[in-house]
Each structure stands twice: as structure tokens, then as C-alpha cells.
Structure 1
Amino acid sequence: MRRVVAGGRADNPAVVSGFTLGLLFTLAGIYTFVTMLLPTPAGFQPASVALIAVVALVWGLVAMVLPWARIPHLLRLANGPAAMAVIALHNIAAGQDAYRYTMFFFLVFLWAGLCEARGLSLKMSPFLAVAYLGPLLADGKSAADLASISYALPIYLAVGEVLAWRTERMRRLQRRLQQLAHQDPLTGLPNRTVFTSALHEHCARPEPVAVLFLDLDGFKQINDRLGHAAGDQVLVQVSAALRAHTRPGYADLPCRLAGDEFVLLLPNTDLPTARAVADHLEHRLNQLHAADGTPVHGSVGVAVGTGMDAEDLIAAADHAMYTAKKAKPVSRRAA
């Protein structure tokens, strides 16, 4: 069973970002309480620091359970400037300690880099400048103290943008791996894994489900005579024909199992309808040609079941396909 967090799936970017944001607020609130037990600088205001810690802790716990997948993107991003405002208040209440002053800002840019799109750190830089310099100006700090932003700001931006760049690359790689795991790279059709999962799901329902099992006739001869590139072109044509036979409004699923074997899953479909789809599909296949003009033929087996075991249903469709293939003249099978 897959883990679900805070209002959506665990792999939803908005949910991950919102949950991470809440977690960082929570940890920052807890640690702010811890700082009250440590040696503190002059001007430290325990009551104000405790109030800020409570606000951060409560908001963090709330943020971890909000339905971020349904919350507008800009509202989630607004938490960045809001966090900086809270940090600025903390820095005033905590006595303007230089070390404490910079660390909590760092968490904001960690969140931006790990969870949000590139460029967000740059967009938040004006808010950082206000939140960083405001307390220093209000406290009458020296020009040297104000100039410390020339160190802090580039570091924050570098961390945020580098993390965002690396995170974006990892997300692209993850999407590519997921695609390869569920999609046939040649035809772009869903693969055996997707078909098997969908078949088991539909077989568990009370509605009838049909499976069309397609195998090309004489495909090996096309490969041997014209080469694998020409064979691949034929497979791509067949995949297009399968896609064309998916019905609008239905969850029809065309897949490539392996080699020249294809299937078309037709949910909530009775036997006469499935046979009609198979006849149209076979007719369409007969209109295809290989690179040298050789006609393409295929044999289609049909099986329909209600509450039937998934393996038995695909085996029945496979058997029907071989029966159809054997019923053809030898010349057609070896074409």
C-alpha cells in the first residue's frame, strides 16, 4: 500500500512541498524552544521568542495536514515570504544574535530548492532583503552589519537555485524511468506490466471485460527479408491501428506484450461488440504494408469474461488467436 501524506498522493509535488514546508516550520518551532535553554545574548525576550515558537510550531503542524493538492500554487509560495517575516520578528526578539540571524533563513531556501521550481529563490530575494535588513535598521546597526547581507544573500540564492536545478534533473530522470517501466519504447503503447494490472482490476469487477489478442502473420519473414528497421516500422503501424480502435468514452487499453504480440483490453464489453471491434481491426491490418509493399496480416483472438480469472481470460484470448491463425491458408500465415 502506498503512503499518502497531507491531502494527496505522496508523489504529488504540491503535497510534498507543502508537507516539507510544514515539517520545517515544526522543526524550527521546536528548536526555537530549545534555544531558550541555551545561553542567550543581551536583549533576548523569552516571552516573545516563546510566542514566535508557538506560532511556527502550530502552523507547521497544520501545514503538514492541509490538502496542498487543492490549494492554489501562489498561496503555497506565499509561505516563503511569511516565513521570512516570522524569522525577522524572531531575530528582533532574540537579541540580534548574528549566528541565529542567518540559520532560519537558510531553511526557507532549502525548501525552495528541494520542492519548488527554479527561479523561486531569485523571486524571494527582495523579501529576504527586507526581512534581513529591516531588524538591523530598526536596531540602528552599523554599515558593516548591514553589509553582511552581501555574504548571506548570494549564499542563500546559490543554495536554493543549485538545489532546484538538481531536483529538476532528478524529477526528469524519475519521470523517464517511470515511463520506461510502463511504456513500450518502440511503439509508445503501454507494456505488459500495465496490461496485467489493468486486466486484474477489470476482472475483479462485475461487468464483462473483453481481451483481443493480436499476433502478426509472417512477421519473422518480414524481419528476415527487409531487416529489423522495416519490421519496427510495421510494429509502429500496428500500434497506430490499435490506438484507432479505442472507443471514445471507454477505458479501452491497447498494449504491446512482446515482439509482434499486441492486446486490446475492452472493459464493459460483451462478446458481439468485441467481435465487431476485432473484425474492424483485422480489416485495418490488412490495409497495412511493409516497406517493400508486402501486405501485413494479423490474427485476432477474442475472449470475454465476467468475474473470470485474469490469467484464464488472457489464455482464452491467446488460444482463440492461434485457432484463427491455423484456420488461415498457409500462404497467408507465411506472407
Structure 2
Amino acid sequence: MPRPPSRPPTRSRRRDRPSAPVVDVSAWHRIGVIGAVGIGLVGLLASASTHELDSGSWAYYGAAVALTVAVWLLVHRLRAPWALLCWPLMALLGLVGVSFSAPVAATLCMGSAVLGFLFAGLTQARGVSLVLLPPTLATFVRVNHSVPAQQLGVRLGIALVVWIAAGELPAWLNAKLSSARADLERLAATDPLTGLANRRYWDAQVGRMLGQRTSFAVLLVDLDHFKLFNDAHGHLAGDEMLIAFARVIDENAPEAAVRARWGGEEFALAVQDVAEAPQIAERIRRAVPLGQTCSIGLVAQRPGETLPGLMLRADEALYQAKSAGRDRVVAA
């Protein structure tokens, strides 16, 4: 069973390889096949407008429909984003076919190639749309084979700029939005002072652990006489104390433990090894910095227990520790 994340996601300092945006691949397969069929219909209308529609053209369009259905049946269940690239490639293949049966119509439809780059830019990571350049260039040259070389070069240069912009600009914007979304999620889950998880993240992760029906223990930790420390040393020193104590909790907690600032001078820790929880609590109690002390309430999760019920028992154990003289661990 997968472990819940022990900390809120952090932003990596290294430059990661661009990843594909999170997309509904099934929905984009439907969009892709509709787009491919739509481009085919445009080609059919263009062939009719240029008086190139004959029995051979009808046979070609019938074969194109059959091929599109076959490709759909092969790929529509694939969930990898790269599988979506088959639809821009299908459109290019269709343009090549039209160039043989209706060359003038194919020239009119060549502009639709930009839709393939836009499709790739919306569904793939940065740079992936560029894999469409070689087949699109080959299609462009085939469709415009009768154009003089000098004019072909100018048209091709303009087309390249448009294709790259259509493919890479959406991918770049998607990457920026994904990064901003990740930053917002990290900020929403992190206590800004200590860097530990906040109560919102704690509730979500511990609630998930309860749903998995795995045994774990909760430590609710409170710094003793923190208000007196604040009054004696000032709020800045109090903040430094909270930061230092959060570091103590982080360093003494197992890697898989969920740690959070519960509120004020209270911290919470969820430990999956129930048997080890008392030793962890004692290590934290003995490591409080600046000569201060802490009280800890420790409880083991019970089958079928809710999050409010679990935290209420932890709070009651903490209250017992404070009532018994503080600077101690009480398990309940």
C-alpha cells in the first residue's frame, strides 16, 4: 500500500526535464478523431469546389474513413499522451493522399497542418510538437511540388514560424501554468514559518491514512510555557524557537512520518510504526532546544476511528501530560 507524502511537495532547484501536461487523454482522443474527420470533410468540400471530385476521389475518402476508424480502435484506449500524436500524423497522411487525387484542393487545405501543431502543443510537453516538423515538411513539399522553388522557400519559411509557434507557445504556457499550480499547492499545504505541513495538509493526509485502515500512532506535541518564553525574549525569539523545534521534530521523525504544525506552539506527528512511537516521542522531548521543555500526548489509531475522534484523544493525552507536570510523554 503506498505511503502518504510525509511533507508537502517542495519545488526542486534543478531544471527538470519538461513533463507532459496533465490532460484527459480519452477526451483528447475524441477531439483528435473529430479533428481528423473534420479536416477530411474540408478536403472533400475543397475537392468539390475545384472540380476534382471523381470516382477515384470518393474511393480515397472511403478508404480514409476506414483507416481513421481502424486507428481509433487501436489507440483510443491508450492513456499515454504520446499516443495522441497519431491524430496530427493521420491528418498529414490525409493531405498527402488528397495531393494525388485532388492536388489543387490539397494546396487549399495545407493550412490545416497548423492545427496538428496546436493539438500537440496543448497535449504534449515542450519540444514534443517539433517531432511533427519532418513529416509536415515532407507533406508541404509534396502538396506544393508545382510551386517554383523560390516561392516555395518563402512559403516554407513562413509556415515553419507559424508551426513552431502554434506547437510550442501552448506547451510553454501549459508548463508555466503547471509550475504556478504546483507552487500554489505547495504554499497552501505548508506552514510559512516552520516549513512543516500545515493543518490543512495534515487533515488530508491523516484522513487518507484512516481510510486505508492501516495502524499508526499520532503524537500531539506542545511547547511548555511558550507564552512566558515569548514574553521574556520577544516574538522574534519565539519564532526562532518554533523554527528550531520544528527542525527537531523533522530530524527525529521517520522519513515516512507525516509532520505538521498543528497550531500556535503545537505540533503533530503521524508515525506508521506504532511500537516505535514512544521512543520517537522521548527523542523529541529530550531534544527541545534552548533549555525549554515540551509535553506530548500519544495515541494509537483505532479501527473505524474518525479524524476528529483521533485528534480529540490525542489532545486529551496531551492535557494529561501537562496536568501531570509537563515535560513528559503520556500514552492513552
Task: Indicate the residue corresponding to 2:317 in structure 1.
Answer: 320
Task: Indicate the residue corresponding to 2:75 in structure 1.
Answer: 63
Task: Indicate the residue corresponding to 2:203 in structure 1.
Answer: 196
Task: Indicate the residue corresponding to 2:298 in structure 1.
Answer: 302
Task: Indicate the residue corresponding to 1:164 in structure 2.
Answer: 171
CA deviations on 1:236-289 (whole Å, 9 max, x unpaired) are 2222222223335xx42111222222111123515xx4322211211122xx12
Task: Indicate the residue corresponding to 1:141 in structure 2.
Answer: 147
Does the Cα contact within 8 Å between 1:282 and 1:298 map onto a contact in 2?
Answer: yes
* 1:30 maps to amino acid: V
Q: Does 1:177 align with 2:184?
A: yes
CA deviations on 1:193-229 (whole Å, 9 max, x unpaired) are 2322333333345553311001112333444444444
Task: Indicate the residue corresponding to 2:119 in structure 1.
Answer: 111
Give 1:83 deviation, angstroms. 4.3
CA deviations on 1:180-199 (whole Å, 9 max, x unpaired) are 22222333322222322333
Aligned residue-pair number: 300
Give matches, 1:13-24, under 5 Å. 13=20, 16=23, 18-19=25-26, 22-24=29-31
State the percentage of identical aligned residues. 25
CA deviations on 1:118-152 (whole Å, 9 max, x unpaired) are 33445543443222112322xx3334356422332
Distance (Å, rounded) in 2 between the aligned partners of 1:173 and 1:239: 27
Gaps in structure 1 of 5+ consecutive residues: 1-11, 70-74, 290-294, 331-335
SS at the partner of 1:184?
coil
Change (3 A) 1:87 1:178: farther
* 1:95 maps to amino acid: P
Gaps in structure 2 of 5+ consecutive residues: 1-18, 328-332
Change (3 A) 1:203 1:84: closer
Does the Cα contact within 8 Å between 1:256 and 1:263 map onto a contact in 2?
Answer: yes
Distance (Å, rounded) in 1 between the aligned partners of 2:133 and 2:224: 65
Does the Cα contact within 8 Å between 1:121 and 1:160 map onto a contact in 2?
Answer: yes
Task: Indicate the residue corresponding to 1:267 in structure 2.
Answer: 272
Distance (Å, rounded) in 2 between the aligned partners of 1:276 and 1:261: 19
Does the Cα contact within 8 Å between 1:210 and 1:267 map onto a contact in 2?
Answer: yes
Deviates more, 1:94-103 or 1:153-162: 94-103
Task: Indicate the residue corresponding to 1:100 in structure 2.
Answer: 109
Deviates more, 1:307-316 or 1:15-24: 15-24
Give 1:26 deviation, angstroms. 0.5
What's the TM-score once normalised by structure 2's chain length?
0.76
* 2:148 maps to amino acid: S
Change (3 A) 1:255 1:121: same
Task: Indicate the residue corresponding to 2:11 in structure 1.
Answer: none
Give 1:311 deviation, angstroms. 1.3
Q: Does 1:276 align with 2:279?
A: yes
Give matches, 1:31-42, under 5 Å. 31-32=38-39, 34-35=41-42, 36=44, 39-42=48-51
